[in-house]
Amino acid sequence: MTAPPFTKHYVTPERAAGAVRHYRWINEHAKPLRQPVLYTVGPDSLTFERIEGRCVRPEDLPRVAELLGHAHGAAWASDLHSASLDTPHHFQDGTTFDDYLGLRKLALQRRHVQGYLPNKAALHAMFGLLEATAQGPWAFYKDSNPRNFIVTSTQDIVAVDTDDLSLAPMGYDLAKLIATLHLTYGPLMDQAVTTALLAYSAAAQRHDARLGTTDRGQLDSFLGLHAVLTAPYVGRNGYRYSLPLRFSHRGAS
């Protein structure tokens, strides 16, 4: 029996239209990333194929890392090689990706106001870490957390919730997946993280030899940023664990 479709509602028609543009951009430029079929576009809603399955778990990390590497590599080769991390990227179809630096500087400032960064010195240290990570090659960021991938009964992996995309360095979205798996299930083995990074890099390099250069030091720097940016969500949405402070104190390589 076919599952009934899923309708997602948006606060404004502009939000719905933006979600459609990002969905279609991924289908064109990041083909390895499978998404649910989009059936109907309404004024402020989208109706999708309903995907039955489970969320990603730690044992799925190597496969999802490889999938992200292929998706990011394909997007770079197809469209993102001309982007810049410090300015929004505009496409001919009207799609816009927020820039990497400006968006996250604002988020870090909010974390300072909320008390997750204890003082101005800590805020400026995080600004420095952010700026040190702003180097190419670059990819797109889709908020890769365990709930945004569904593993089907046939072991296919489907990406959901691609409404908001932004620019980010290669490896940044992989770090978000690693961070949120840790927040959900507890600390990951160091070898599991290294294996995921190797799978990601090998997949990206199949699209361009210049890709797949993210090293473990850069990944840990991204994790340091995610430790602060995700801090308000600990204890909510299934995030039961905190990221270790050591992620927040490693400098960029």
pTM over 0.85: yes
- Examine residue 179 and state whether it is found in any structural domain, yes or no: yes
- Examine residue 33 and state whether it is found in any structural domain, yes or no: no
Find residue 89's DSSP bridge partners.
97
Residue 178: the pLDDT is: 97
Residue 248: the pLDDT is: 39
The sheet that has 6-9: what strands, in order across it? 6-9, 45-48, 38-41
Residue 94: the pLDDT is: 67
Residue 232: the pLDDT is: 93
Query: Residue 72: which CATH number?
Result: 3.90.1200.10
- Examine residue 6 and state whether it is found in any structural domain, yes or no: no
Q: Return phi, psi of residue 214, to 5°.
A: -65, 125
Q: Where are the beta strands (DSSP E) in 4-111?
A: 6-9, 38-41, 45-48, 54-55, 89-90, 96-97
Q: Could you give the percent of the chain with pLDDT greater than 90? A: 80
pLDDT in tens, 1-30: 577 999 999 999 999 999 999 999 999 999
Q: Is the pLDDT of residue 247 over 50?
A: no
Average pLDDT, the chain: 91
Q: Return phi, psi of residue 231, to 5°.
A: -55, -40
Q: Is the pLDDT of residue 250 over 70?
A: no
Q: Is the pLDDT of residue 251 over 50?
A: no
Q: Is the pLDDT of residue 252 over 70?
A: no
pLDDT in tens, 151-175: 999 999 999 999 989 999 999 999 9
- Examine residue 16 and state whether it is found in any structural domain, yes or no: no
- Examine residue 41 and state whether it is found in any structural domain, yes or no: no
Q: What's the average model confidence in pLDDT over 235-246?
A: 81
Q: Provide the residue range defining the domain that includes 207.
A: 53-249
Of 18-27, 86-95, 184-193, 225-234, which range is least confident?
A: 86-95
Q: Return phi, psi of residue 120, to 5°.
A: -65, -35
- Examine residue 135 and state whether it is found in any structural domain, yes or no: yes
pLDDT in tens, 24-52: 999 999 999 999 999 999 999 999 999 99
- Examine residue 95 and state whether it is found in any structural domain, yes or no: yes
Q: What are the Cα distances from residue 121, in Å, to 16, 55, 127, 134?
A: 39, 38, 10, 20
Residue 83: the pLDDT is: 79
- Examine residue 47 and state whether it is found in any structural domain, yes or no: no
Q: How many folded domains does the chain comprise?
A: 1
pLDDT in tens, 171-180: 999 999 999 9
